[in-house]
Amino acid sequence: MIAYARNGHTDKFGIPRQSREESPIVTRIVFEPEYRIPEALRGIEGYSHLWLIWGFHDVEIKNEKLKIKNSKEWSPTVRPPRLGGNKRMGVFATRSPFRPNPIGLSSVKLIGIQPSAVSHQLELLVSGADVLDGTPIYDIKPYLSFSDSHEEAKNGFADETKDYHLAVDWGLSKVSEEWKRDVTYILSQDPRPAYQDDPSREYKLDYQGYTITFIVDRQTVHVKKIVKI
């Protein structure tokens, strides 16, 4: 672990799932004391995008060493939420967290670098990181369009659902613009654990210290309540 992620994603169901639209949510990549070395980032400011390699939450960190539990929870097939949660696909044909080695991969946009002489902190600010608050980061690499970008790639069954998103009806809720933008994005990505067709069923989502209660009627999320945790 070289760093950890800090953002408002305290609820795993709120994490966008390999979306076509880029998340507006800003994540701080906070370097661990041993890696607070500005020279290790020399030249990174010339890159617009980075790769983060990180650990899903059944990952164990000991003595600054990366040690991943040989999770017995993995199964050769998983049910991608985007396919409605009832179709099984091979785990290596999905980005599911329930994998033999629970390593995550995200391309993110580099927004800023924040060295601070006062706090001895060193942080990268990125957007588009689909990671939970507190996620351990193992590696950061530059995104190289000439080797990493394959516009023409065939996306298998993911192509069927890549444009899937919901409309969001905020009703009479009064919230700040930035918070609303972030949560609108999260809700539009459908944070339900699986798709159900019951428009009266209430779901809850935590984001940045608030619990949002919502229902989903066909293709629209209706926000019912926002309560400070």
The interface region with its own copies, picked from 61-69, 165-173, 181-189, 190-198 by CB under 8 A, is 61-69
Instruction: Return the H-helix or E-strand segment holding 181.
Output: helix 177-188
Should residue 94 be labelled a site residue for its own copies when binding is judged by CB under 8 A?
yes
Q: Find the shortest distance in angstroms from Cβ 113 to its own copies.
A: 10
Of 87-95, 174-182, 193-201, 203-211, the segment contacting its own copies by CB under 8 A is 87-95
Does the protein bind its own copies through residue 66 (CB under 8 A)?
yes
Nearer to its own copies by C-beta: 101 or 196?
101
Q: Cα(217)–Cα(15) distance, rounded to whole angstroms? A: 21
Q: What would you report as the CA-atom Rg of the chain, rounded to the nearest whole angstrom? A: 19
Nearer to its own copies, 145 or 196 (CB): 145
Residues 130-149: x where in contact with its own copies by CB under 8 A, - otherwise, as a string: --------xxxxxxxxxxxx
* Separation of alpha carbons 167 and 171, rounded Å: 12
Of the candidates 61, 89, 175, 215, which one interacts with its own copies according to CB under 8 A? 89
SS3 54: strand
In terms of phi and psi (left: phi > 0; alpha: psi -120 to 50; beta: otherwise), the region of 208 is left
Residue among 139 and 206 whose Cβ is closer to its own copies:
139
Question: Per rule CB under 8 A, is residue 64 in the interface with its own copies?
Answer: yes
Measured from the CB atom, the residue of 30 and 226 that comes closer to its own copies is: 30
- Which residues in the 164-193 window bind its own copies by CB under 8 A? none
User: What's at 224, amino acid-wise?
Assistant: K
**CA distance to 32, 60, 95, 171, per residue, from 66 (Å):** 14, 8, 21, 46
User: Virtual CA dihedral for 65, 69, 75, 77, nearest 10 degrees?
Assistant: -10
